[in-house]
Structure 1
Amino acid sequence: MHVEPPATIAIIGAGPIGLEVALYARYLGYKVTIFERGGSPAANVREWGHVRLFTPFGMNASPLGVAALEAQDPEFQSPSAQEVLTGNELCDSYLDLLAASDLLIDSIRLDTRVISIGRPNYRKGQGTGKPERAEHGFRLLVENRAGNDGEHNEEFFAADIVIDCSGTFGNACAIGQGGVLAKGERQTRERIEFGLPDLLGAQRQQYAGKHTLVIGAGYSAATNVTLLADLAEGDPSTQVTWLTLASNQELPISRIPDDTLIKRDSLAQQANHFASSPGPVTWKTTAGITAVTYREQSSDFEIQLAEEEPPIIVDNIIANVGCQPDSSFFRELQVHQCYSSEGPMKLASALLSDKSESDDSTDCLTQVSHGGESLLTSEPNFYILGAKSYGRGSNFLLRTGLEQIRDLFTLIRGREDLDLYATMPAIRT
């Protein structure tokens, strides 16, 4: 919906897409506030900062962002468009600098979580489909963790537009069969690692010489398996059981034909090699996990599979089972979500259509923005961008998020030809 500046935009999440959205909005003259629940910008990226991305810098940054940093510091030199960075390097050389720039530094509120969003004059079931609902702004209840004493302060914030860029990282799916919580999982989840631990660095001691169960059949699981195999070279007593859902595949990771992301294809080959060769990694397929128990006395886990066989006993569990969007804070808004992915319905429909037409739809490089209309939700002036816009889908690409930003502001600003990225010099090669 067309909204003129200097309207107020609330952005949820100061990750790569949230920062880029805020920058684009500031250039156009909008008032911007970014709410970040972490203690630093791009806090989720730092969680896996030791891992190297598959994609080069030119696909993860915008020419607008680079131009803003060059304008602020004439000596600033961005990474080259072809350079492949780790998550920490991306933060150090770009994202943190963007957050600290004059355009954004006063707009970011760290350690602040959005609790609830609604409209002051309309409950969820009121004004359905009526234009009057769009004429009223949003009211956000936010909670700030003030100081070191853990005190939580709540306050209200008013906005004309809300853009949710909070992602899905940290909202892991269940490890149980069929996505249902396994018996005992609720009691043990805080002991399970759902991300990409620093296996060769800060968390080496926890995993070296131990037996670790890795659950999952994606690139995160493949990354953890290969790092654990590397760890086993220095400590041969390190063991890995790699668990994937039962399938007819001969190997756990399906390689993408003629993959142009060399590091991604190399990871797939390495992981498949470890799974199919004698060594520290044992690959096992299963119909699912039915129970998990943490045994305090022996400090290990007992995992019961759906198959009738003895349980697996391991020291650690790394579960790369995918993530899901958190919609709890916008429950009072009229947001139509996909019954399959939990993403916003219009975009989800376009993505599902892609899947039906292309066998390569799982490759993130084939993903494109589907235009501004696909970003509209059933709640006027409320938008979901970035990884969260794909719901439970895992093939989102930062490049696609930048395209979403461009397309969204053609709608918000009411100009089909608006493209700030096209007016900026290309990122250096």
Structure 2
Amino acid sequence: MIGAGPVGLAAAAHLHERGLAFTVVEAGAGPGAAVAGWAHVRLFSPWRYNIDHAAARLLRATGWTEPDPEVLPTGGELVEKYLVPLAGLPDLSPHVRYDARVTALGRVGVDRVTTAGRQDQPFVVRLHTGTEILASAVIDASGTWATPNVLGANGLPAHGEQQAAALVSPAMPDVLGVDRADHAGQHTIVVGAGHSAANTLLSLAELAEREPGTRITWATRGRSIDRAVGGGDADALPGRGALGTGIRLLVDTGRVDLVTGFAVRQVEIVDGRPRLVAVDGRTLSGDRIVSATGFRPDHTIGDELRLDLDPALGCTRALAPLIDPNHHSCGSVRPHGVDELTQPEPGYYAVGMKSYGRAPTFLMATGYEQVRSVAAALAGDWAAARDVQLYLPETGVCSSSAGAQAMLDDTAARYGLAPDVPARLVSAALRHLPAAGSVAAATRAAAEELGIDPDVAVQLAALAGDRFDDTDDVQAAGSAHSGLNLVAVGGSGGGCCG
């Protein structure tokens, strides 16, 4: 097993239940090392969908206190309350190695060209220390967190991107916590159009309320943000518009400057500050860049394995048509298991986030079913391996609505407001909406009525965007910053989290 994250440890739990010997190698210093990188981010799926069934059975046998299944955890809580106890179980702990980074995979005595007797030779798993482990099968759950996409619009690093790395933050920086000093009172340019970008923009908007001089620019490659933040038929899932409507509200009120059609070609350093240059020659200058452009798999450790990868996504060819983000969201991906994950190299399976390649629609629950199926296949139980099932609700896992509610509660608490204030604000804003004519104006009128700082009210309204679903017939005034009309709808679009 490569990786001691949620899916890797779930695989270990299933292998243990099947009575199969296993070793887990993890590059980080502890379980969930990649998750710890986004510890401050709250998932959009509640605990009930983030805990593997085999793992839960092992934990319950030790008297583990199970989290409330309806609560949405942060990444940090996922590690602390689930992954650390799981990895520490006597049945798993002796078989997990930390600070063990895999650098290459191969077969004993044969290279990729050799066919005769190939599948009879054990795998060689080489670590960065030079240590080699022999294995009958390899389950690669190493994920994609360490290999983010580049800023360059054509998939290649933008010219100068490497030289400017010190001024470019990866996706989802903790702008309200440990990364605050990098963004407070500074001009941050967020590049990207998915949920990672949306979460960062909302956090930056809150930071701007507390730190004078904080500016935010949102640069997207597309000419329209409709698909990214709520595009109706762009995504079949209902209820995904909470973040989208909120981001539109921030744009409409001028708290976020939106620049569309900005395809990055070059990153320059001018007087110690980064400047982005687009393909069409336009430029954007700031103090800090956040690259929220997604992630990609790194298959280089498998160069000596026989892998047949989809040319677009970098996943197995059988899985590609099921997860293609041009046609699917996380909620429309049918259950899949060992058959869709099998490679020409017998016994090698990429699972979890890595199995999806560049598709951004992966869910932990999907990964848990993947490893249940693979473990059953390795045990020779092909009936169970092929009986793949995955039950997901229409909202709550693929929807941003539940996540936005949790973020709303967090934000109200940080401002010292009573828990019922956001609901009262929305209710008052809806009453003012017919006369005000726009969500922004109605929100400020409601803030005055309730005695809430109007800028804080806009921040709360941005997170409560889907509460305005019943006002489809009300259009906001056009934004001078974006040329957009704010339509308060519960739209769809964007990627999945959790």
TM superposition score category, shorter chain reference: 0.7 to 0.9
Instruction: State the partner residue of 1:186.
Output: 162
Which structure 1 segments of 5+ residues have no match? 1-10, 144-152, 423-429
Q: Which has the larger radius of gyration?
A: 2
State whether structure 2 residue 159 is matched by structure 1 residue 142: no
Structure 2 counterpart of 1:331, one-letter code: D
Superposed CA RMSD: 2.2
Correspondence list, 1:78-227, <5 A? 78-127=66-115, 132-143=117-128, 153-227=129-203
Higher strand share: 1
Instruction: State the partner residue of 1:342.
Output: 314
Instruction: State the partner residue of 1:269.
Output: 245
Higher helix share: 2
8 Å Cα contact 2:47-2:73 kept in structure 1: yes
Q: How far apart are the structure 2 equivalents of 1:207 and 1:191?
A: 11
Q: Deviations over 1:159-202 (max 9, x none)?
A: 00001000111201121122222111122234411121111111
Q: How far apart are the structure 1 equivalents of 2:40 and 2:226?
A: 30
State whether structure 2 residue 274 is matched by structure 1 residue 308: no
Give the 3-state SS of the residue equivalent to 1:141 in structure 2.
strand
**Aligned length in residues:** 386
Percent of residue pairs identical: 31
Give the 3-state SS of the residue equivalent to 1:226 in structure 2.
helix
Give the 3-state SS of the residue equivalent to 2:164 in structure 1.
helix
8 Å Cα contact 1:255-1:268 kept in structure 2: no
Q: How far apart are the structure 2 equivalents of 1:259 and 1:236?
A: 40
Q: Deviations over 1:301-346 (max 9, x none)?
A: 121122233x221110100111111111110000111100011222
TM-score norm. by structure 2 comes to 0.73
Change in Cα spacing, 1:18 to 1:250, as seen in structure 2 (3 Å) is closer
8 Å Cα contact 2:18-2:375 kept in structure 1: no
Q: How far apart are the structure 1 equivalents of 2:313 and 2:11?
A: 23
8 Å Cα contact 2:106-2:302 kept in structure 1: yes
Instruction: Select which of 370, 389, 398 maps to 2:355.
Output: 389
Q: How far apart are the structure 1 equivalents of 2:44 and 2:216?
A: 24
Q: How far apart are the structure 2 equivalents of 1:410 and 1:65?
A: 15
8 Å Cα contact 2:5-2:32 kept in structure 1: yes
Q: Deviations over 1:195-227 (max 9, x none)?
A: 211111111121111000100000000000010
Give the 3-state SS of the residue equivalent to 2:22 in structure 1.
strand
Instruction: Select which of 328, 348, 352 maps to 2:300.
Output: 328
Q: How far apart are the structure 1 equivalents of 2:217 and 2:379?
A: 52
State whether structure 2 residue 204 is matched by structure 1 residue 233: no
Change in Cα spacing, 1:385 to 1:28, as seen in structure 2 (3 Å) is same
Give the 3-state SS of the residue equivalent to 2:101 in structure 1.
strand
Structure 1 counterpart of 2:61, one-letter code: A
8 Å Cα contact 2:323-2:359 kept in structure 1: no
8 Å Cα contact 2:5-2:34 kept in structure 1: yes
8 Å Cα contact 1:223-1:271 kept in structure 2: no
8 Å Cα contact 2:167-2:274 kept in structure 1: no
Q: How far apart are the structure 2 equivalents of 1:91 and 1:315?
A: 32
Instruction: Select which of 290, 300, 308 maps to 1:318.
Output: 290
Which structure 2 segments of 5+ residues have no match? 389-498
Change in Cα spacing, 1:116 to 1:219, as seen in structure 2 (3 Å) is same
Correspondence list, 1:383-422, <5 A? 383-418=349-384
Q: Deviations over 1:335-385 (max 9, x none)?
A: 111100011222224434xx68xx5x12x2223332321111110000010
TM-score norm. by structure 1 comes to 0.85
